[in-house]
Structure 1
Amino acid sequence: KDNPWPLAACGFSIGVATGLTGMGLGALIIAALVLTLGFPMHTAIGTSLASMIFTSLGGIIGYIVNGIGVPGLPAYSIGYINLPIWLCLAATSVPMAQLGARTAHALPAKQLSYLLICIMVYIGLKMLGVF
């Protein structure tokens, strides 16, 4: 945990993967921190959330810059960011993230791991069209 190079390698790989696909940054970081680097589950979740601030900001800037001047985007868009949709997502996700953080803190690490696994499997199956 004291060696920064494994963390940098994880950060590089996860940053590229999420930038290309837009997929769940948190799930990838949590998995890397717990499985590869041996972090406790609660620490991995908190660290993941903190890192999302900077990673998301980089992605936001990229999608704004690359989308400026692109024809056919919805009204009220700045680049590829649609402001009304962003506002709806932010208005609901910020308070729910706080509730989620309190709930996660109350759960034992093992239950939290199982919950994360179930959510990731569900999302994967849903994306594959299983249901």
Structure 2
Amino acid sequence: MYSNGYNVYKNNAVNYASKEQLLLMLVEGAVKFCKIARQAIIDKDVKKAHNALIRTQDIFSELMISLDTSVGDWAVQLFNVYAFIKEKLVEANMSKKLEIIDEILPLIEDINETWKEAYVRAKK
């Protein structure tokens, strides 16, 4: 009963979110799934790690697709950062090496914080 209500709430949150809010949801999801993958690698749960890494890769694919690189050099540079992260996620998924996750997780967290800050500043 409660999980159905939660799913309705979650769907409504996505369906009625602004583009900026959707971006924040994506980058927060990237942090979440990367952390899940990290723990799954520690726990030697290959399937869970794979699924979480795929979800994180999908998020970065979506971020790359939605980025308008014609607006300036900063967008091209951000696209390249996203591509680097995605490449490392693929590498981490193939090797299940914790070191790769530890290399990119701080970068993903920085991106999350940067977009949060940009959202707050844009609201002022």
TM-score by length of 1: 0.40
Q: Which has the higher contact order (CA 8 A, sep 6+)?
A: 2
Structure number with greater Rg is 1
| Higher fraction of helix | 2
TM-score by length of 2: 0.41
